[in-house]
Amino acid sequence: MSFDVLIIGGGPAGVAAALRLAKMEHAVAVVAKPRRGAAVEGLSERAYEVLRTLGCERAGASLGREVVRQSHWNGATSEHNRETLVDRRAFDRALLEDAEAQGLAVIYAKTARPCARNGGWEIVGTSGDNAPFAVSGKLLIEARGRRAPGAGRRARRGPGTTALARVYGGVPAQPRTAIAAFRDGWAWYASQGDGTGLLQVFVDHEQGQLPKRGALAGHFAGLAGQVTEAGEWLGVGQAKGAVTVRAAGPVHWPDPVGPNSIRIGDAAAAVDPLSGHGIFEALGSALAGAVVVNTLLRRPDQRALAEAFYQERVAQGFERNCRTGRAFYALEQRWPEAPFWRARATWPDQAPVHAPPFESAPSIERRPVVEDDLVVARPVVVTPDHPRGVYQVADVPLVALLEQIESATSDGSLAERLKVTRTQLETALAWLRYRRMIGAG
């Protein structure tokens, strides 16, 4: 079978990219290995809205309860960030069913291996019933997250973090998510309120090797015992199943676009779980990646522009999320000399999470932007807090607005010239006024 685009990886990033490309009228095949390990995550309202616009009804129906995350940090307890609980095994399966329902080809693979061939790609492997399969395509999207091969020495890595997780049964029947710091790391707990809970601890594997598999349960119990709050979370619950281990440190792939391939989601840039909502970041990367793929297929002469757009987007998003994580780590002051906290309170740098908008004068530059599902070059407003530039605010082109302001007799005539509503115009003007690009009048 031959397709325009092959996607290997069937998580949120892979499915979102597939659905978006299908709407752009590309033939897409998704090759996915069903998730095996237990995992519960929190889904933000923004991430849910993205999935809703993509028509992911089954994924939406698989979501659990909405909760307010509780934080135990630096000796204080607070509540913030509403999130919806997600059982990743059920959620990922529902996403693939949404893709099938919208007519996409989905292959549930037991083994899968992509190979560059004849200027394109082929994925060969075996399906769940051990039947061999082979699909070919012009372009490959790597969406296997942190499991994606090839990062090697070229990837930029932050402090080495390992997540150890274990499922507990018989825990208090209260839906919740919570985080708590302890001397050697931090813990995250999630429960759907069904008497089962998942406890994860995040530690620094660069400070010492993990014990062998037979000793993992005891090691995990020792770490969990350092988490004072875990007693309340787990109650009289008992551990069930094995301890799972996965990498959880920040990793950035510097060249996410290859000759006929692109990395999206965690395969392009994976951030520390403390930095923000991983699913939302993966979805954003996937949608941007889909536009880049569309550009590569329909406007191959714009390859350099599309590559620059995506590479810059991934790099700056990675830096922003890492700085957000650094700021949160730095808030924990109880163990400043502990290796775990010392390494993370200063990485990746000391730059502010958000640059002050008035640090330097704004400029107008020609930069790559997204327009009609293609990457094109347009004049944008570049400011310290928006270094990639802003093309439009409320669908109002900012540079065109600046060019028309002087000759317009009223806001009404200005809105008419730009073919936007007064509300849209007022939003764009407020953005320019805040950055002191126009007067307050």
Bridge partners of 207, per DSSP, are none
Bridge partners of 132, per DSSP, are 126
Q: Residue-wise over 338-365: b if at least 16 C-beta within 10 A, else e?
A: bebbebbbebbeeeeeeeeeeeeebeee
- pLDDT > 90 in the chain, percent: 83
| Distance, CA of 310 to CA of 286 (rounded, Å) | 11
Tokens describing residue 194: 């069904």
| Distance, CA of 74 to CA of 278 (rounded, Å) | 24
* 3-class secondary structure, 303: helix
Whether 216 contacts 210, CB under 8 Å:
yes
pLDDT tops 70 at residue 90: yes
Q: What is the pLDDT of residue 270?
A: 93
Sheet of 161-169, strand order: 40-43, 76-87, 66-73, 176-182, 185-191, 196-204, 161-169, 238-247
* 3-class secondary structure, 128: coil
Helix, strand counts (H, E) of the chain: 12, 23
- pLDDT > 70 in the chain, percent: 98
If phi > 0 it is left, if psi is from -120 to 50 it is alpha, else beta; for residue 67 that is: beta
Token pair 């073919």 in the structure block, residue = 419
* 3-class secondary structure, 169: strand
pLDDT tops 60 at residue 151: no
Tokens describing residue 311: 């590479």
Q: Residue-wise over 18-46: b if at least 16 C-beta within 10 A, else e?
A: bbbbbebebebbbbbbebeebbbbbbbee
Q: How confident is the model at residue 287 (pLDDT cuts 50, 70, 90)?
A: very high
pLDDT tens-place string over residues 29-49 = 999 998 877 788 889 999 999
Whether 188 contacts 177, CB under 8 Å:
yes
Region 121-129: mean pLDDT is: 94
Mean pLDDT across the chain: 93
Whether 141 contacts 296, CB under 8 Å:
no
Q: List the one residue out of 365, 397, 388 whose CA is nearest residue 309.
A: 388
Q: What is the pLDDT of residue 208?
A: 67
pLDDT tens-place string over residues 173-225 = 999 999 999 999 999 999 999 999 999 999 998 766 788 888 999 999 999 99
pLDDT tops 60 at residue 154: yes
pLDDT tens-place string over residues 378-414 = 999 999 999 999 999 999 999 999 999 988 888 888 9
pLDDT tops 80 at residue 153: no
How many C-beta neighbours within 10 Å does residue 413 have?
12
Q: What is the pLDDT of residue 276?
A: 63
- H/E element, 263: strand 261-263
| Distance, CA of 23 to CA of 430 (rounded, Å) | 34
412 CB-contact burial (10 Å; exposed 0-12 / middle 13-18 / buried 19+): exposed
